[in-house]
Amino acid sequence: MKTLHTAYRVTDLDTSLDFYRALGYRELGRGDLVDGSVLVVLAFPGEELGSLELVYRPADGPVELGTGFHHLVVQVHDLEASVAALTIAGLPPSVPERPGRPGGPRTAWIADPDGYRIELVEWPRGHPDGITADDLTDVDRTADDRTADDRAGR
């Protein structure tokens, strides 16, 4: 088994598409359903398959985020350049930081139009793409520190 993609329900499809295009996604395809819903599959350049699906269901009303979903992580190769490009596009992320141990990944945060949080991550040179078990070994911060950071939106 493997994870194929993530799907978000969105309140305003055009606004969400503008946001995700500014983030770097491109539209692979869409499907219009008989109930008025629209499914749009997105991918980053270089991805052959969709990694994000936007689900627009106008009959369900506005999206209300609960307490279960935490965040989506998007890997970037140059965090400073990504933050600058998003800021120019009118979508300024948080100030980049290194939340874990020295030499760990650098991150910045942004939220989409419905409030879904997205963590932009720049891994150190030579690090595998994605999180590893070693990345979870963080002796400098406690679980309480991480929880406080989460509450603060970091």
Residues known to be catalytic: 119
E strands present in the chain: 6-10, 26-32, 38-43, 52-56, 72-75, 106-111, 117-122
Tokens of residue 24, six digits: 């770097």
The span from the CA of 120 to the CA of 44, in Å, is 14
Tokens of residue 150, six digits: 């989460």
Instruction: Tokens 């950071």: give the residue.
Output: 149
> Which sign, positive or negative, has the C-alpha torsion 138, 142, 145, 149?
positive
Residue 131 corresponds to which amino acid?
I
